[in-house]
Amino acid sequence: MGHFTDLAQQYIDGEWRPGSGSWDIIDFNPYNGEKLCEITVATADEIDLAYRAAERHQPAWAATNPYTRRLVFERAVRIVEEREEEITEAIIAELGGTRLKAAFELHLAKEFLREAVHLALRAEGRILPSPVDGKENRVYREPVGVVGVISPFNFPFLLSLKSVAPALALGNAVVLKPHQNTPVCGGTLVARILQEAGLPGGLLNVIVTDIAEVGDALLEHPVPKVISFTGSDKVGRHVATVAASHFKHAVLELGGNSALIVLDDADVDYAVDAAVFSRFVHQGQVCMAANRIVVDRAVEAEFTEKFVAKVRTLKAGDPKDPETVIGPLINSSQADRIGALVEQAVAGGATALLRGKVEGNLVHPSVLTGLPADAGALREEIFGPVALIIPVDGEDEAVRVANDTPYGLSGAVHTASVERGVAVARRINTGMMHVNDGTVADEPIVPFGGEKHSGIGRLNGDHFTEAFTTTKWIAIQHGRSGFPF
């Protein structure tokens, strides 16, 4: 795959080239501060070049036999499999992901590439009846044309591919802007793999830049018809506003404040395992992470004791070490924010059952309980290794607490009764709920997305087709119509 420096460029119209901006994005290893590479930022002019290249090449790609299009993604799966260790090392170095996290991300990335193979053949049209004699109504599924994709730093390889591969498979072209903290794993690495898999030049363009350089040029450009954004609800609100003002469709996969509910009849040991994974996978930098662990008082003491004991065993440190579970946060501002959040919560009355120290970007786990009902930490997306345990009296209070958030992405409920779990799950205002499992899960064909501030629209399976194609009605009159004048 080459070193980071080999991928420290823009990828526009099938060519690797430097950006023409006046400053560089410096790509650092968040654990040890090592400089991985520097990339001169792209300008608004280069965004225009990328979108125009995509627009120019897309019609021929859309006209390509879908059986031919799918071969690209079959080859891409093989490339990822062959270079899995290399990609793992890149994930560890660029975003501080542990080996455990990298394996999780790569497994899902391969699954979504395999889904793209099948998706190329699934844009089906329909023939509908008409009340008019002799009329035939055909409804065609056609690519939207060009899709703009903006991906985040936490699962950059997966979450870039998750929109890029389906959009391409369905006959679109794409301009991808990765997060500036993960320009390689989330951007140029994706481009290199698809280039080597045989994707024709110009269909995927990668722009490494920053809003300070280009403003809203990526969103306002007249070429893209759909913007697929994954990130915070604050930025997502802006993306939606700009997209709507330019008559673009926005697919928004945003943040969360998920609750994992432990009812009075739950298997406590199993619930502890699910909760620890759901809260601390990738240092809690996951939109589906269980920020709030809502526990019935009947099992609160047992659960809390076992939960804290298990969290104490989580090794924090160098993500290269296979034993490490907690690696660094993505940058110092995130680490400082998490440290301040714990301090404010304790100052506001919370009890720290475990209080992790902050060492540079490495934040050790904290477990808090006894938070006042108005504590800010209860309603925000934490995005760090801090667990909040909230005791409740019974099922109804658990539901009320779980719903007391502006977010609605994921959640879980643990109980001995599957149907009781389903009944509770249906009362929680989220896009996804899991009975007797963790809150962090994704599968290629299930509808993925949230309610409230957690996003607009769904991805995965048939929802990819909804997001990245449009319908066209073509009516055919066999014989002659009668007209009133």
Beta-sheet strand order (sheet of 469-477): 126-128, 135-143, 469-477
Confidence of residue 190 (pLDDT cuts 50, 70, 90): very high
Alpha carbon distance 374, 348 (integer Å):
10
For 98, list phi and psi in degrees, rounded to 5: -75, 170
Residues 195 and 318 in one domain: no
Examine the pLDDT at 1 and tell me if it is beyond 60: no
Residues 190 and 47 in one domain: yes
Report if residue 132 sits inside a domain.
yes
Average pLDDT of span 135-157:
98
Report if residue 89 sits inside a domain.
yes
Compute the radius of gyration of the chain from its Cα atoms.
24
Residues 139 and 12 in one domain: yes
For the stretch 44-92, pLDDT in tens is 999 999 999 999 999 999 999 999 999 999 999 999 999 999 999 999 9
As given in the structure block, the two tokens for residue 23 are 């400053």
Share of the chain above pLDDT 90, in %: 99
Residues 250 and 282 in one domain: no
Alpha carbon distance 373, 405 (integer Å):
12
Place of tokens 């290893």: 29
53, 59, 51, 54: which is closest to 220 by C-alpha?
Answer: 51
Residues 183 and 331 in one domain: no
Q: What is the pLDDT of residue 482?
A: 87
Report if residue 441 sits inside a domain.
no
Q: Count Cα atoms within 13 angstroms, Cβ side, for 422.
A: 3
Confidence of residue 462 (pLDDT cuts 50, 70, 90): very high
Q: Which residues pair with 250 in a beta bridge?
A: 227
Alpha carbon distance 383, 283 (integer Å):
8
Query: Is the model more confident about 248 or about 122?
Result: 248
- Quick check: pTM over 0.95? yes
Q: DSSP label at 2?
A: -
Q: Phi-psi bin for 449: left (phi > 0), alpha (psi -120 to 50), beta?
A: left
Average pLDDT of span 90-95:
98
36, 153, 169: which is closest to 105 by C-alpha?
Answer: 153
Confidence of residue 329 (pLDDT cuts 50, 70, 90): very high
Q: DSSP label at 133?
A: T
Alpha carbon distance 354, 74 (integer Å):
47
Alpha carbon 296 to its chain centroid, in Å, reads: 31
Average pLDDT of span 303-321:
98
Residues 173 and 272 in one domain: no
Following DSSP, what letter does each residue of 382-407 receive, concatenated? --SSEEEEEEESHHHHHHHHHH-SSE
Following DSSP, what letter does each residue of 147-212 receive, concatenated? EEEE--SSSHHHHHHHHHHHHHHTT-EEEEE--TT-TIIIIIHHHHHHHHTTPPTTSEEE----HH
Could you tell me which residues come within 8 angstroms of residue 305 by beta carbon, excluding any fewer than 6 positions away?
Answer: none
Residues 245 and 273 in one domain: no
Domain holding 320: CATH number? 3.40.309.10
Active site members: 253, 287
Q: Give me the sign of the Cα torsion angle 400, 401, 406, 412.
A: negative
Report if residue 443 sits inside a domain.
no
For the stretch 269-289, pLDDT in tens is 999 999 999 999 999 999 999
Alpha carbon distance 97, 111 (integer Å):
19
Q: What is the pLDDT of residue 2?
A: 56
Share of the chain above pLDDT 70, in %: 99
Q: What is the pLDDT of residue 477?
A: 97
**Domains identified in the chain, total number:** 2
Residues 375 and 461 in one domain: no
Cβ-contact 204, 194 below 8 angstroms: yes
Report if residue 449 sits inside a domain.
no
Residue ranges in 35-155 assigned as alpha helix (H): 44-63, 66-82, 84-95, 99-119
Alpha carbon distance 252, 236 (integer Å):
6
Residues 40 and 8 in one domain: yes
Q: What is the pLDDT of residue 140?
A: 97
Alpha carbon distance 198, 289 (integer Å):
36
Q: What is the pLDDT of residue 480?
A: 92
Examine the pLDDT at 3 and tell me if it is beyond 80: no
Residues 217 and 332 in one domain: no
As given in the structure block, the two tokens for residue 141 are 């599924």
Q: DSSP label at 41?
A: P
Tallying the residues shown for the chain, one arrives at 485
Domain that holds residue 140: 4-254+454-473
Q: Which residues of 425-459 are buried (b: 16+ CB within 10 A; e: fewer)?
A: beebbbbbbbbbbbbbebebeeebbbebbbbbbbb
Alpha carbon 84 to its chain centroid, in Å, reads: 20
Place of tokens 């808090």: 368
Task: Please give the mean pLDDT across all residues of the chain.
Answer: 97
Q: What is the pLDDT of residue 12?
A: 98
218, 91, 222: which is closest to 159 by C-alpha?
Answer: 91
Domain holding 149: CATH number? 3.40.605.10
Alpha carbon distance 11, 50 (integer Å):
8
The torsion of the CA quartet 218, 219, 223, 229, rounded to 10 degrees, works out to: 90
